[in-house]
Amino acid sequence: MVNDHMASNVAYALDHVSFSYSRGKHAESEEVLKELSCLILSGRVLGILGPNGSGKSTLLKLLARVLRPLTGTIDILGESLSSLSQLDVAKRVALVPQETLQVFPFTIAEMVLMGRSPHHQGWGGWHWEDAQDLAVAQTAMEELDVAHLGNRLVTEVSGGERQRAVIARALVQEPQILLLDEPTAFLDLHHQLDIARIIKRLNRERGLTVVLVSHDLNLASQYCDQVLMLNHGRLAAMGSPQTVMKPDVIETVYGCSVLVDRHPQSGRPRVSLPL
Amino acid sequence: MKPILDAPSQRSPSSAFSLERAIVRLPVSNAVPASRQTLTRSRWWLWVGAACVVTLLVFVVCLGFGTQTISYSTIIAVIMGATTGPSMELGSSDPTSVILLQVRMPRVVLAFFVGGSLAMVGVALQALLRNPLADPFVIGISSGAALGAAIALLFGLGISVGSLSALPVCAFAGALLSLIIMYRISSAQYGFSVYTLLLAGVVLNAIFSAFIMFLTSIADPNQAFGMYAWLMGTLTGPDWPTLGILVLYLGAGLVILGIHAQSLNLLTLGEETARSLGVEVERVKKMVFLSAALLTGAVVSFSGIIGFVGLIIPHAVRLVVSADHRLLLPVAGLVGGMFLMLADTVARTALSPSEFPVGVITALVGGPIFLWLLTTRQTQLGMK
């Protein structure tokens, strides 16, 4: 379904992907994603939007191969995702989960360095970090402004600091694709802006493909080249923010009417709730 | 650097000084020494080497204590003689060296291996269940192993297959069964729940204990008395060949745990994140469960139920040394071994010439620490 000359700009090609958390006879009736087909272009920022329970996070986990589709196929960078080993997937894709719970006193530096483990193929996963690992980690930590937190404990830093460290961990995987699940969900305004700018900069400077799940329509409108809207596990709309974020589309998907005007600086759609 | 990001300012200044909190905070300040920032090979060797040296010292000290005190120079001379010279003649001629080599040393060595294994199983279970309160005793794995061993003992399975081979196998099966039950319970409720795990552990312990009590009540009185003593956790002197078999079981389990150290690090981030970092989660989980069951089964079949070692030792080592499993596993193993050698020395000498089960000491030390952790660390344990 993908022409050869196009394949080089395609990060993901999804072909009739369905997923269900239950297996067996109930699987089909409890599908979280239904017959999803789309192309995700590389080097772009894609936002996945949709109401609660529409399958956003599930889709992201399928892209990271944390979950596997029930039916249908996913191609990543021209290869079949299901044929790659977990380690090979981890070298191409990094996932930043919504929340990182850590109950053990690891240091920030230790946690960031864990992102290097896909680049080591030890017996049972045992390896020592080498000089290159440390250099990559140092660069990423400076980029995310957490280098000064290296010897602080993960359990003791603030939510914003931890989230930046988790993104640093994703970067040291040296992925081509970065997946983020609500990267700004637990952050205050200041840190939301920080994270959004960092993501945009990584995309611009490194050509990193970014797929992010968000509840924040305005954030997605500002920072995404493309948005994909899910509704009850089906693709409701996909395209540029200008084409997707229209009052009628949002009303169909979210079930409430909204006002859409233009952002004063960027001219992108701005969604407001009515009185 | 923005001052808003500095965590120390976020500590509530209004809360009155509490000694308890001060103690909790002391070892874990907001920042750890810069040398602890990441694990390096030299730091690994430093800690493991230091732990080995201290272990050897503790070993010699523990050998000295007993109904008859033996001087350290004698101990070293006997050990040197036994390892270099013709040990058999020396061992049979001199009563002191017989006590040392055939009675005291096997027992101290057993204490070391049992304590070390329990601590390492604790580390592995805590990482896998993402719960710092997981311990083979607390969550019912030891009782499962004990039930398996009790069945083997009472129905004579132990004797039929050559006094030792069936006992650890049955204990292993019991440990594995309870591990699988525990894991199902803790993962059924999507996510991470400390309460579920602890409650399930209590109930599982109660169920297995009921079975064991039933078995002891139908056993003949002599057998039942022996079983009670064993259930409380004792380290009665084994002979060298028996110890050899134990070390074989433990060695297999420890090697499997050791090579998965880095995977355990990643698993503390949660299974989905671990998978996204390239860990074959299902395979690693199976291997770690098998080795944890193997270690618990072997330990319980030799020494009964000794609680809390797997809880307090990993916790202490994490605070002082590192949470990185590549360093945590070996150091916790050595410290756990040390702890039980010392505890058993107290157990066999404090009321000399009679002795009491070492499980009494570990429970009296570990129980209060467990309760203290439970009450002071609620937010960190995700229990709020």
pLDDT tens-digit map of B265-289: 999 998 889 999 999 988 998 899 8
- Look at A124 and B280 and tell me if their CB atoms are within 8 Å: no
pLDDT tens digits, one per residue of B319-358: 889 899 999 999 999 999 999 999 999 998 888 778 888 8
The closest of A136, A138, A190, A198 to A160, measured between CA atoms, is A190
CB contact under 8 A, A151 and B36: yes
Q: 10-residue block means of pLDDT along chain A (275 residues)? A: 58 93 75 92 94 92 93 94 92 90 88 92 78 91 90 87 92 95 85 88 92 92 94 93 92 90 91 88
CA distance B81 to A78: 69
Q: Report residue B194's pLDDT band, with 50, 70 and 90 as the boundaries.
A: low
- This prediction's pTM: 0.85
Its ipTM equals 0.90
User: Nearest C-alpha of chain A: how many angstroms from B365?
Assistant: 22
Which pLDDT score, from 0 to 100, does residue B13 have? 38
B72-92 pLDDT, tens digit per residue, is 888 888 877 776 655 444 445
**B262 contact residues in A (CB cutoff 8 A):** 117, 120, 122, 124-127
Tell me whether residues B38 and A113 touch, CB distance under 8 A.
yes
Work out the minimum CA distance from A267 to partner chain B, whole angstroms.
Answer: 32
Query: Looking at beta carbons, which residues of chain B come within 8 Å of A157?
Result: 7
A45 near A210, Cβ under 8 Å? yes
The percent of residues in chain A predicted with pLDDT above 70, rounded, is 96
pLDDT, position B157 = 56
Q: What is the pLDDT of residue A169?
A: 95
Query: Residues B129, A101: contact at Cβ < 8 Å?
Result: no
> Using 50, 70 and 90 to split pLDDT, how confident is the model at B5?
very low
pLDDT of residue A275: 82
Q: Do B382 and A125 touch (CB under 8 A)?
A: no
Burial environment of residue B371 by CB neighbours within 10 A (0 to 12, 13 to 18, 19 or more): exposed
User: By C-alpha distance, which of A124, A93, A98, A264 is closest to A195?
Assistant: A98
Q: What is the pLDDT of residues B174-184, one digit of tens each?
A: 999 998 888 88
Q: State whether B38 and A102 contact (CB < 8 Å).
A: no
Q: Rounded to whole angstroms, how far apart are CA atoms B258 and B275?
A: 20
CB nearest to A104's CB, from B270, B284, B318: B318
Mean local confidence (pLDDT), B186-210: 76
pLDDT given at position B164: 53
Give residue-wise pLDDT tens across range B219-248. Answer: 877 777 777 777 777 777 678 888 888 888
Tell whether A90 is within 8 A of chain B (Cβ).
Answer: yes
Instruction: Tell me what pLDDT residue B18 has.
Output: 41
Q: In the prediction, which pLDDT does B271 show?
A: 87
User: Which of A66, A100, A113 has the CB atom closest to B275's CB atom?
Assistant: A66
Q: Pick the residue with more confidence: B266 or B156?
A: B266
Are B269 and A102 an interchain contact pair (Cβ–Cβ within 8 Å)?
Answer: yes
A155 CB-contact burial (10 Å; exposed 0-12 / middle 13-18 / buried 19+): middle
Q: Would the CB atoms of B380 and A91 count as touching at under 8 Å?
A: no
Contact B319 A151 (CB under 8 A): no
Strands A177-181 and A209-213, by their bridges, are parallel
Average pLDDT over residues B241-260: 89
For residue B163, is pLDDT > 70? Answer: no
A86, A103, A158: residue with CB nearest B132: A103
Question: Which residue bears the tokens 């790659």?
Answer: A84
| pLDDT score recorded for residue B30 | 52
- Taking an 8 Å cut-off on Cβ atoms, the answer to whether A103 and B39 are in contact is no
Q: Name beta bridge partners: A40.
A: A12
**Residue B382: is its pLDDT beyond 60?**
no
For the sheet with A177-181, list strands across it: A93-96, A177-181, A209-213, A45-49, A226-231, A234-239
Within an 8 Å CB–CB cutoff, is residue A42 touching chain B? no
Residue B97: what pLDDT? 79
Question: Which of B1, B7, B32 is nearest residue A107 as measured by Cβ atoms?
Answer: B32
More confident residue, B206 or B4: B206
pLDDT of residue B86: 53
